[in-house]
Chains A and B, each alone.
Chain A
Amino acid sequence: MASVTISNVQKNYGAMNVLSAVDLSIADGEFVVLVGPSGCGKSTLLRMIAGLEEISAGEIKIGDRVVNDVAPKDRDIAMVFQSYALYPHMDVASNMGFSLMLRKTAKELVLNRVGSAAKRLGLDVYLQRLPRQLSGGQRQRVAMGRAIVRDPKVFLFDEPLSNLDAKLRVHMRTEIKALHQQLKTTSVYVTHDQVEAMTMADRIVVMHDGVIQQVGTPLELYDHPANLFVAGFIGSPGMNFLPAVVARQGNKVSAELTDGQMIPLRPELKVEDGDRVTVGIRPENIEVGTSAALKAKIEVIEPLGLSTQFYTRLAGQQVCIFAMGRTDRGPGDTIALGIKPADVHVFHGKTGLRLS
């Protein structure tokens, strides 16, 4: 096991800059999830850790060793690919034992390691099958097994679950997590699915356009998003955003929406009268039917049984509200919204950075 330290790493393809100045320290035994929209450079960063992609500038360390010029096979890492990349002409046992065989490990030891990994993954009855004779979920397990038998210092996963159906994905998610809790191997996991990120990660790294936006535990990111991008990316349904102007009257601070309605803000917030800001409110932080002053019109109601989602219009913006239980209101009704000042996220109107 080992830590992974990424310092000031860049990646260019010709003149195109794909990753700029990435800094990230991953502690020994940590499960870190890289998340971000398609094309933001997650895979590129992961492949640079694996040694499959050259490092244009900066330094990557695994443990205490700088690995910039170390071949993939000498980095002591294992990678699970999105396509699984199983060798189609080898049976499950050979697929899993391939790396050990190449290292000239004694036959018995290989059988032992493959056997116990297969048992752990529920693959012991499939050892003699070829990959094409397995289901997608089973193939995924073989790819996991191939990584486990190596007993590497670091596991790298590139969207390993994205080819599975929704149910299996949820199941494998918990299995991978359980596996990590047993093995405690440092893991870097790439996904574009924020739910996967929230449920699996010790820490999440949110990336956008080749730049790390924020690093933190799932709840840190949820409660204190560093900027508009993170705020919008983490959470489902997503955070509501409303452009506003700060109105400060002595000790009372509020945000004036475009239609003149006011949302109260925390008085200690470092904003001045007249500042342009974007306020962000999570759907579950809006209370329906209180006597508060904010009024919005219902456009769509989605009853989910346990809860209800309202899509309303407030100051020209669509605002989603998540409320537990059921409702007797219908589309077209005007409802009163209650929002606590502590639940309002305020972002700089131009830079999108969080104001505190």
Chain B
Amino acid sequence: MVMQSTAAGLPQNSGGKGAKRSFSVAFEPWLYLSPGLVLLLLVLVVPLIFGVSYSFRKFSAFKSEYVGLAQYQALLHDQVLGQALMNTLWWTVASLVLQFFLGLGLALLLDRDFAGKKFVQAIVFLPWAVPSFLSGLTWAWLFNPIVGPLPHWLFALGLKAEPTNILSDPATAMWGPIIANVWFGVPFFAITLLAALKSIPGELHEAAAIDGANPWQRFTKVTLPFLAPTIAITVMLRTIWIATFADLIYVMTEGGPAGSTNTVATYIYVSAFKTLDKGYASAVAVLLLALLILYAIVLIRIRRSLVRYS
């Protein structure tokens, strides 16, 4: 209404008065938006600016000083960080791939009717409701040969020479948090992909069946193209969450043994709260942020070129 009346009035004004008028027209919407913008600025941007500004300072027990890019120079020579980056990559990729394919499988299974479906559905979505600290502790106990059954089962199956704790062996320790994370994250993919599957019109599958597509072709030519947008967005979100997710690892291994499960996220946590160098932790966090933004940009590009129709 406002736009209409001002637009209608505009032609009658001339010269400087008109320019003034058009400024107020341009300004008006921003005025209405300002409470929301101020809130966004306060909640999102200000903390980010503070966080980034910390990375240019050095903190010690009672004071902090400006050190310019010194923290970033230190990053370059940090061997622990190098290993943490590799660990993060491994932790993220392995968790993501397993979560995704198990989630997709469960979603496909839950998309069809079978006896006891409601029950299975409830079970599948359960891990989502368990606090991450609790699931971390539970899995740590499960892997512990004194209280948990898993080492004994692995031993009985011949997968391990002795029923020891995989969490205490640097070669296998990362698998512990990964398995816990997969258990924890599968419901996310199952729920979102199931919702996307439900949105595919049934007649499309019927048309494909009549056109001569076998079940595998129906999956690849009809189902997957439909899921593609959802897959792209969930994989992106999930990658970012997993890469920055420190709870499980911290609870189960605290980044050890010998730094073998130390990811960038746990390293930030350790630097900030154990060594109390918030400046260095911030610099590492900025690095992780930059890497994730880069990843998101690449994925969005890929998504655009793949998904022409949505």
Interface residues of B in 198-243 (CB under 8 A from A): 201, 203-204, 206-214, 217, 221-222, 225-226
Whether B308 lies near A130 (C-beta < 8 A) is yes
Q: Does B23 contact A (CB under 8 A)?
A: no
In the bound complex, do residue A89 and residue B211 qualify as a contact, i.e. CB atoms below 8 Å apart? no
B211→A99 contact, CB < 8 A: yes
CB distance from B206 to the nearest CB of A (A): 5
Q: Which residues of B contact A77 (CB under 8 A)?
A: 210
User: A83-B201, A89-B225 known; A72 and B210 CB under 8 Å?
Assistant: yes
Kindly identify which residue among B203, B209, B214, B217 contacts A83, using a CB–CB cutoff of 8 Å.
B203
Give 1 or 0 for each of A102-121: 1 = CB within 8 Å of chain B CB.
11000000000000000000
Task: Report the separation of the CA atoms of residues A73 and B221 in the bound assembly, to the nearest whole angstrom.
Answer: 16
Contact of B308 with A78 in the complex, beta carbons under 8 Å:
no
CB of B201 within 8 A of CB of A73, answer no
Q: Would you call A228 an interface residue if the criterion is a C-beta within 8 Å of the partner chain's C-beta atoms?
A: no
Question: Which listed residue (A79, A87, A99) contacts B212, Cβ 8 A?
Answer: A99
Q: Residue A71 at the B interface, CB < 8 A?
A: yes
Let me know if A72 and B226 touch, CB within 8 A.
no
**Are B203 and A81 closer than 8 Å at their CB atoms?**
yes
In the complex, B119 has a CB within 8 A of chain A: no
Which residues of A lie under 8 Å from residue B211 when comparing CB positions? 73, 98-99, 102, 146, 150
Interface residues of B in 245-260 (CB under 8 A from A): none
Number of chain A interface residues as a range: 20 to 34
Question: Is the C-beta of B309 less than 8 angstroms from some C-beta in chain A?
Answer: yes
Question: What 0/1 pattern do residues 66 to 80 of A give for CB contact below 8 A with B?
Answer: 000001110001110
Q: How far is the CA of A77 from the CA of B226 in the complex (A)?
A: 26
Neighbouring A residues of B208 by C-beta, 8 Å? 87, 98
A85 within 8 A of B: yes
State how many angstroms separate the Cβ of A73 from the closest Cβ of chain B: 4
Query: Bound complex: CA of A73 vs CA of B206, how far in Å?
Result: 10
Whether A72 touches B209, Cβ cut-off 8 Å, given contacts A83-B203, A89-B226, A132-B309, is yes
Asked if A122 is at the interface (CB within 8 A of a chain B CB), the reply is no
Most chain A CB inside 10 Å of its own CB: which residue of B201, B307, B309: B309
Chain B residues 294-310 with CB under 8 Å of chain A are 307-309
Task: Decide if A50 is an interface residue (CB 8 Å cutoff).
Answer: yes
Bound CA–CA A50/B208 (angstroms)? 12
Contact of A79 among B207, B214, B222, B308 (CB under 8 A): B207
Best-surrounded residue of A51, A83, A85, A132 (most CB of chain B within 10 A): A85
CA distance A132 to B207 in the complex (A): 18
B309 engages A79 (CB within 8 Å): no
A150 to B210, CA, bound (A): 10
A52 within 8 Å of B (CB atoms)? yes
Given A73-B210, A81-B207, A83-B201, 4 additional A-B pairs, CB 8 A:
A73-B214, A85-B201, A85-B206, A88-B226
Interface residues of B (CB under 8 A from A): 201, 203-204, 206-214, 217, 221-222, 225-226, 307-309
A-B residue pairs, 7 tightest by C-beta: A99-B211, A85-B207, A85-B203, A73-B212, A89-B225, A102-B212, A72-B210
